[in-house]
Structure 1
């Protein structure tokens, strides 16, 4: 292994990096230096994105072609941001290479997005129709429910799991690579009695997808994994991608890890970046074992470089976060440090109940705002979305604008699903879920008529599914002919894009006044979709990207429109990962809150809850408040009375860690403001009252 060059010998574009970051960028790129597997442990706020972007830029500067790089991230936006950084670095370092970098990195994106593209490339070799459509989670649940109904499971005397639960079980089996009985036993014990029926349901679901040439979200990884299990295809991809770089590796599941090992079995050219202390997505199938076990999966073991210099937080805050995560039973040894000086210890604030918690948080938010810190620079984090309800009431009462991350997602909006169903059905007339929705957008055709048309299309031989000949009533014949013509034109081989899609969207806009009362608001999303479609080279690419990485919100999201240019951020801890704010408040830092009372069944669950608190703490730059309510009112109880329970400080901050925090109680008692009553002032005859009770 060659030594890292001194800063004086380095190119200018690496001068801004610290020693550990430079080591990560240069590893395996110097003559004689092994390009074996590399694991970069990047602690919170240590410049992970910058380091990975510089490594990609350095590979380009070393002569690696852009299309020989495979860059995998966990959101399309992250891939785009990484590409922009690479372009800036290369443009500043080498005007000669700037045009190459400006073209971007063709193979950068999410696992699911890249998987979809590769499956289309290899469709002919693996028995897929290249025109397959991709179902989002709701469409997948609808198709699964259709199979559930066909198998008679919706009429069981004893209630069978609903479609959403069934899809969650199916997804857990696929993503964790675990047997059905194990998933039921560990995660869905109340469904264990239905194991035989669920197995038959999932087989029927798979057969329905194959018959309709549709893939669901999980199939994109499952098919990719099965595809690279063939040595010939795996070898082609390994040769095609000299370097594979993976961001947020701690968030990968077993299926994703198996894909990487198949493409790069010896680890040559494989770089993974992540932080075991921020592995918090097991509910999506992610496993911290992937990053913990990565070094020893290769021979010789992977090189490991740790980034510990934090550029985000003040030292007292890092000391407390380090102490919390150090209590974990397993993990890579690292200790975040900062060159910043000074700062206040994190506050550990005890309050009486959730009402006082909300009042304290609002008081602090307004005080910081008065001192010049904008609302946008402050965030309130919580374990579960319901934890912020009392605070939201108080913020509304005090007229403090806020945005809560979550709520209605773009693809869940009815009008957006309408448009996507039109485009998907045009692409694949055997997609029954999309077709069922699309056909009923036409006035005069209901569920029975739509089902009859789809049955006819299913029975038609390939190439003979003529929409114009389908049986419809005379009253809708003319409208149906226009609609059928648009669908067939949009789905025709070689149909111009985005023109064919725009024609369907324009037709849909003419129907919206009939379909929705707030058509004007919803039409803005349709026009935005048309603009977005024009940025993609094909319908397939547009539908894949939009399904796999949709925008967060839509025009008809619940709640009043934002009327203030400044607003407070409310967010679950999971949604806050990767973000930072000068001031952060964390609600309900008590046992039953963090850790959640639903996530203490195993040591692995408890360890993840500890990591969740660590992630919350490391979002703060300058000020951090952890709120500890002493009393919680029970929900779902009678409105009469005062049913409540008491809670203790989270187990993740035991007494021995308290010196790392500044403890406070709120509100403070004010002895001068309370005047005790003297005995001589009491003039109530209690004895007489007691006798009077009995006449």
Structure 2
């Protein structure tokens, strides 16, 4: 908590040089380019406090605008700690609704119409009137498109041309002309029901300010100084309202980071931030570059991700300078498959907790909600509590519960049919298809959830030769385990949901082509936004950071995945690393093996027996040897010499799948028994 300073000098002495430059510039336009972890909230709250202390501001005439209620609350709290009360710190919608509610009775008469909390029912009715017959998932995507049009100030009349110019994809298989008709009917439905939506709050206030000079004058008399945080996420609708609040005045401070623009698909644009010095040609630009959040190792990686895209050349991006002491190196891990990645992350989390890192200070971040199931299961299996942020737990999702109910009902009718085929037949009736939907949104998220069930069926068929009954039993067991109440636990979140948050330890999973950048990203702008997502994920970490990906999606699947292009020349064992004088993957593995043999002479004989056995298995199943068990896992086995499956299971690299497939053979090798690999595999 900031201590109440007794003088202006004491107040400003608490800031670094760049933050102080922000706090001392009290009048006129000001643009602050603030990198992640550089103390932007501190700078702008001290600026407001300095303005009030010096008499330049009346606190009641200051309006600070943020994008989340949490951020607004934090700003109010910090201002109170600095002895400044009366400043309005609100979201755009909260500030607009407050003004609309005040002026509506005198300008329009009566009370403000009821605000519809969700668009779904309104869009659903409009869709029905047009005979579109959209299902619940399609309605969600259509609702998102309606919202995008409104925040972009696009009407039904100009939607077709504007959507085409913006490169908007077809939604629910409907062309732009159909969506334009939907927009028109949607407004009719709202009017008939006597409700407004959240965008209407801003639109209606804009209309009043444009039509009533007296109201505009009253608002501008009330609010004389404006601060807008996260300015890179402003939409055209919000910008228009801000301009009307200002009128012809120039008392505006904006704060943002173009490198954290990750909501372009919702209508947000960094253009207003990057164009600010041109709109206000005398506006100073202050860059906050000192990163107080993350270690040099994390900061170097974040900068490197942007540097390789040329992001620091005239882009408005900020190159961070770490202020914390050096600490743990960033970890890079490659796994055989998604399950192995999830289990490896769970093991590493358990080790961090043992080393004193609280679970509440650990996060696992991923690109899509569909990636959470394997992580939830791995953490549940490891007895690690977790919380899903910004979304439901996998088994709480409506489509998953419905799918499991259908699979349960199909147990008898699918008798004798391979589980892989049966599951595909059942889930196809609820929207699953071999090819994922072409567009992002609710339809894609639903497909990802259903596809996770398909993948699980494939895994159980390979590892256990399971049928539909066994699959349903497995799903019931997982659902029960993952619904155990947790108070304190690891945060699971998408990269989008993690924006604005930070943890001591962060795991970025699935950093591979097709996930990051996601396969739906089409064009340079979309790819650039995916890079910014990675940057946001990296900069959430204070001290511990691990990036990982899996070569294959499923156990025993084709190892066709490649790590993300955003890490070209950064990932330690890639070709670029080798050209920099590093070591190739094969050379590094050979060196690790030689080191193990030198340091553990008593384990050499067992290690060689395990390698020989692994070679026989790999030949029998026509797979590379490393897909059976890694050298590091063989070394761990040779050192531990497990006597039973329980002792084997705790070793790194031995998950449930590997244990089922090879556990008995490994124990036989450890005992010194002869192993007939062919006979074992045909059991």
Do the structures match in fold with TM over 0.5?
yes
Q: How far is 1:257 from its partner?
A: 1.4
SS of residue paired to 1:45: coil
How far has the Cα of 1:605 moved from its partner?
0.9
Contact 1:261 1:267 in 2 (8 A): no
Please state if 1:647 is matched with 2:561: yes
Query: Does the C-alpha gap of structure 1 residues 73 and 664 become closer, same or farther in structure 2, counting only changes over 3 Å?
Result: farther
Pick from 510, 529, 540 the counterpart of residue 588 of structure 1. 510
Q: Deviations over 1:379-426 (max 9, x none)?
A: 1111111112212111111221111113359xx999xxxxxxxxxxxx
Aligned to 2:124: 145
Alpha carbons 1:355, 1:390 under 8 Å: kept: yes
User: Counterparts of 2:480 and 2:16 in 1: how far apart (Å)?
Assistant: 45
1:585 and 1:626 in contact (8 A); partners too: yes
In the alignment, the residues of structure 1 paired with residue 153 and residue 133 of structure 2 have an alpha-carbon distance, to the nearest angstrom, of: 30
Q: 2:34 aligns with which of 42, 53, 62?
A: 42
Q: 2:538 aligns with which of 601, 609, 617?
A: 617
Is residue 368 of structure 2 the alignment partner of residue 384 of structure 1?
yes
Counterpart selection for 2:51 from 59, 73, 76 = 59
Q: Which residue of 2 aligns with 1:175?
A: 151
- Secondary structure of 1:576's aligned partner: coil
Q: Which residue of 2 aligns with 1:362?
A: 346
Residues 1:286 and 2:264 are matched in the alignment: no
Quick one: distance in 2 between partners of 1:664 and 1:389?
30
TM-score of the two chains, using structure 1 as the length reference: 0.65
Aligned-pair CA distance for 1:570? 1.2
Task: Indicate conservation of the 8 Å contact 1:169/1:188, yes or no.
Answer: no
Deviation at 1:260, TM superposition (A): 1.6
Relative to structure 1, the CA distance from residue 329 to residue 335 in structure 2 (aligned partners, 3 Å threshold; closer, same or farther) is closer
Describe the superposition over 1:75-100 as per-residue Cα deviations: whole angstroms up to 9, x where unpaired: 2222122111111112xxxxxxxxxx
Relative to structure 1, the CA distance from residue 24 to residue 306 in structure 2 (aligned partners, 3 Å threshold; closer, same or farther) is same
Change (3 A) 1:558 1:295: farther
Q: Secondary structure at the match of 1:575?
A: coil
Q: Which moved more, 1:206-215 or 1:308-317?
A: 206-215
Contact 1:153 1:160 in 2 (8 A): no
Asked whether the equivalents of residues 36 and 303 of structure 1 are also in contact (C-alpha less than 8 Å), the reply is no
Change (3 A) 1:408 1:223: farther
- Provide the rounded CA distance (Å) in 2 between the counterparts of 1:270 and 1:187: 33
Q: Deviations over 1:478-515 (max 9, x none)?
A: xxxxxxxxxxxxxxxxxxxxxxxxxxxxxxxxxxxxxx
Give 2:230's aligned residue. 248
Change in Cα spacing, 1:303 to 1:390, as seen in structure 2 (3 Å) is same
1:348 aligns with 2:332: yes
Q: In the alignment, is the contact (CA less than 8 A) between 1:225 and 1:255 conserved in 2?
A: no
Q: Please, which of 60, 68, 73 is the counterpart of residue 66 of structure 2? A: 73
Deviation at 1:163, TM superposition (A): 2.9
CA apart distance, 1:126: 5.4
Deviation at 1:243, TM superposition (A): 0.5
Q: Alignment partner of 2:551: what SS?
A: strand
- Asked whether 1:216 is paired with 2:197, we answer yes
The alpha-carbon deviation at position 21 of structure 1 amounts to 0.5
User: In 2, distance between residues paired with 1:345 and 1:119?
Assistant: 52
Cα distance in structure 2, aligned partners of 1:565 and 1:183: 47
Query: Cα gap change, 1:41/1:111 in structure 2, threshold over 3 Å: closer, same or farther?
Result: same
- The correspondence of residues 550-569 of structure 1 with structure 2, limited to 5 A, is 563=485, 565-569=487-491
**Counterparts in 2 of 1:195 and 1:337: CA distance versus 1, 3 Å:** closer
Equivalent position SS for 1:613? helix
Mapped to 2, the partners of 1:290 and 1:141 lie a distance apart of: 31
Post-superposition offset of 1:164: 2.5
Work out which of the residue numbers 69, 75, 82 in structure 2 matches 1:82: 75
Residue 169 (structure 2) pairs with residue 188 (structure 1): yes
Greater shift, 573-582 or 607-616, is seen at: 573-582
Question: Relative to 1, partners in 2 of residues 1:307 and 1:558: Cα closer, same or farther, differing over 3 Å?
Answer: farther
**Once superposed, what is the RMSD of the aligned Cα atoms?**
3.5
Quote the residue 2:357 is aligned against: 373
C-alpha separation between the residues in 1 aligned to 2:498 and 2:212? 40
* Equivalent position to 1:262, from 216, 220, 244: 244
* Pairing of 1:144-163 with structure 2 (within 5 A): 144-149=123-128, 151-154=129-132, 162-163=138-139
Is structure 2 residue 338 aligned with structure 1 residue 338?
Answer: no
The separation in 1 between residues aligned to 2:160 and 2:173, in whole angstroms, is 7
Structure 1 residues 36, 400: CA separation in 2 closer, same or farther (over 3 Å shift)? same
**Cα shift at 1:558:** 10
Q: Would you say how many aligned residue pairs link Structure 1 and Structure 2?
A: 499
Deviations 1:89-112 (A, max 9, x none): 12xxxxxxxxxx44x43x321111
Residue by residue, what CA displacement relative to the aligned partner does 1:28-82 show, whole Å, maximum 9, x if unpaired?
Answer: x3xxxxx221111111111111112112222222332232111111122221221
How far does residue 318 in structure 1 lie from its aligned partner after superposition? 0.6
Q: How many angstroms does 1:664 deviate by?
A: 8.5
CA drift at 1:23: 0.8
The structural deviation recorded for 1:306 is 0.7
Q: Distance in 2 between matches of 1:181 and 1:295?
A: 32
CA contact 1:154–1:160 (8 Å) conserved in 2: no
Alpha-carbon contact 2:151-2:237 (below 8 Å) kept: yes
Q: In the aligned structure 2, how far is the partner of 1:249 from the partner of 1:8? A: 32
Mapped partners of 1:664, 1:127: distance in 2: 71
Contact 1:580 1:621 (8 Å CA) reproduced: yes
> 1:386 & 1:204 partners in 2: Cα distance?
33
Separation in structure 2 between the aligned mates of residue 413 and residue 626 of structure 1, nearest angstrom = 27
Residue 563 of structure 2: SS of its match in structure 1?
coil
- Decide which of 208, 213, 219 is 1:227's aligned counterpart: 208
Q: 2:500 aligns with which of 578, 596, 613?
A: 578
Shift of 1:356: 1.9
Distance of 1:644 and 1:212 partners within structure 2:
54
Does the Cα contact within 8 Å between 2:363 and 2:503 map onto a contact in 1?
yes
Distance 1:358 1:284, change over 3 A: same
- How much has 1:560 moved relative to structure 2? 6.0
1:598 aligns with 2:520: yes
CA contact (8 A) 2:295 2:543 kept: yes
**Does the alignment pair 1:25 with 2:1?**
no
Give the TM-score normalised by the residue count of structure 2: 0.66
Deviations 1:252-290 (A, max 9, x none): 111111222232255511111111111111232211222
Alignment match, 1:121 = 102
- Name the CA distance, whole Å, in 1 between partners of 2:556 and 2:358: 37
For 1:218 and 1:14, locate their aligned partners in 2 and report how far apart those are by CA, in whole Å.
39
- Does the 8 Å CA contact 2:190/2:196 hold for their aligned counterparts? yes
| Rounded Cα–Cα distance in structure 1 between residues aligned with 2:494 and 2:72 | 23
Structure 1: how far apart are the matches of 2:360 and 2:584? 26
Q: How far apart are the structure 1 equivalents of 2:383 and 2:508?
A: 21
Give the equivalent residue in structure 2 for 1:11.
Answer: 9
CA distance in 1, matches of 2:338, 2:174: 39
Distance 1:289 1:68, change over 3 A: same
2:142 to 166, 172, 181: 166
Contact 1:280-1:611 at 8 Å conserved across structures: yes
